[in-house]
Amino acid sequence: MLGLRVIKVGGAELEVAAWLERLAMGIRAVRPAVVVHGGGRRISAWQERLGLKVEKVDGVRVTPPEVADVAHMVLSGPTQADLVRALRAHGVEAVGVSGAEGYLTVELVDPARMGRVGRVTGVDVEGLRRLLASGFTPVIAPASADEHGAAVNVNADEAAAAVASALGALELLFVSDVPGILHDGRVLPFISAEAVEDLVARDVITDGMVAKVVAARQSNVARVRIGDLRMLTNPDGGTLVAVAAVGAAA
């Protein structure tokens, strides 16, 4: 679809009404769009409430079966419902779907080390295109399932990259609470593959930002940017990330 953008959102901002209104305004400005959402803070809060250890490796949650169930409950439940409701209230015809409903096909990556963490091996491109063609904005919860229906946790950044690549998106936008990748207190307008590796090795890029740059580089999208909501209305906003391979834009 011409001009399609995939927008990944997450973080505490998902619970801020004013931020959600600005997100809706931005989506209206760049449609057609597909939204992929995280919900890591809520998942961690529920883990702590239930006495489950919170552990991450390079920004990706270690997910034993009980944590996978919590992630499904949080992502496909209140997190998605709140986001869809807010977008619809501000003029975006959003519809919530999830990986577990068949929109994402996944496989486990390293069960011994990471538990029920999966990578995306397939995307229901036709299903998403039908929603887009009908005027809807799909909002995807990355919570997925294996061939037996058991819960699989997929990092939202990786899911967004896979969806953008499969749909041949014009642009993949990782929306965060910072204006871009920061170095010495300043936003980098562009970052090369070599610079990404160097900054990760020197712990300049850390925590959740690591997952974003890894997902960005593994995508097959012409333009990948990391930044805040201003990217939706400013084509030069955020940090433009060099990708491993570039495919044709839709």
The pTM is what?
A: 0.92
Q: Which domain holds residue 45?
A: 5-176
For the residues 172-195, what does the mean pLDDT come to? Answer: 90
Burial track 139-154 (b if 16+ CB lie within 10 A, e otherwise):
bbbbbbbeeeeebbbb
Contact status, residue 96 vs residue 84, Cβ threshold 8 Å: yes
Does position 57 have pLDDT exceeding 50, yes or no?
Answer: yes
Residue 221 placed within a domain: no
The domain tally of the chain equals: 1
For the residues 21-34, what does the mean pLDDT come to? Answer: 96
Residue 205 placed within a domain: no
Distance CA 247, CA 233 (A): 24
pLDDT at res. 250: 36
Contacts of 36 by beta carbon, 8 Å cutoff, 6+ apart: 6, 7, 8, 9, 139, 140, 142, 156, 159, 160, 163
Residue 233 placed within a domain: no
Residue 143 placed within a domain: yes
Residue 77 placed within a domain: yes
Distance CA 19, CA 232 (A): 13
246 token code pair: 């570039």
For the residues 125-134, what does the mean pLDDT come to? Answer: 98
Q: Tell me which residue of 129, 165, 180 sits closest to 243, measured CA to CA.
A: 165
pLDDT at res. 142: 98
pLDDT at res. 149: 96
Q: How do residues 207-238 score in pLDDT, each as one tens digit?
A: 778 878 888 888 889 899 999 999 999 999 99
The band of 50, judged by pLDDT with boundaries at 50, 70 and 90, is: very high
Single-letter amino acid, residue 248: A
The band of 27, judged by pLDDT with boundaries at 50, 70 and 90, is: very high
Does position 242 have pLDDT exceeding 60, yes or no?
Answer: yes
**In whole numbers, what is the pLDDT of the chain averaged over residues?**
92
CATH code where residue 89 lies: 3.40.1160.10
Instruction: Specify the 3-state DSSP secondary structure of 147.
Output: coil
pLDDT at res. 209: 84
The band of 163, judged by pLDDT with boundaries at 50, 70 and 90, is: very high
pLDDT at res. 195: 85
Residue 60 placed within a domain: yes
Does position 38 have pLDDT exceeding 70, yes or no?
Answer: yes
10-19, 42-51, 152-161, 213-222: segment of lowest average pLDDT: 213-222
What are 225's strand-pairing partners? 173, 240
pLDDT at res. 249: 35
pLDDT at res. 127: 99
For the residues 155-176, what does the mean pLDDT come to? Answer: 96
Hey, which of 11-20, 65-74, 188-197, 211-220 has the most confident mean pLDDT? 65-74
Does position 244 have pLDDT exceeding 80, yes or no?
Answer: no
For the residues 42-68, what does the mean pLDDT come to? Answer: 94
Determine the Cα angle at 11 with ends 7 and 14, to 5°. Answer: 75
Distance CA 196, CA 198 (A): 5
Instruction: Specify the 3-state DSSP secondary structure of 104.
Output: strand
Burial class (CB in 10 A: 0-12, 13-18, 19+), 33: buried
Distance set, CA 43 to CA 2, 89, 104, 133, 206 (Å)? 35, 25, 20, 33, 20
Residue 67 placed within a domain: yes
Residue 194 placed within a domain: no
Does position 51 have pLDDT exceeding 90, yes or no?
Answer: yes
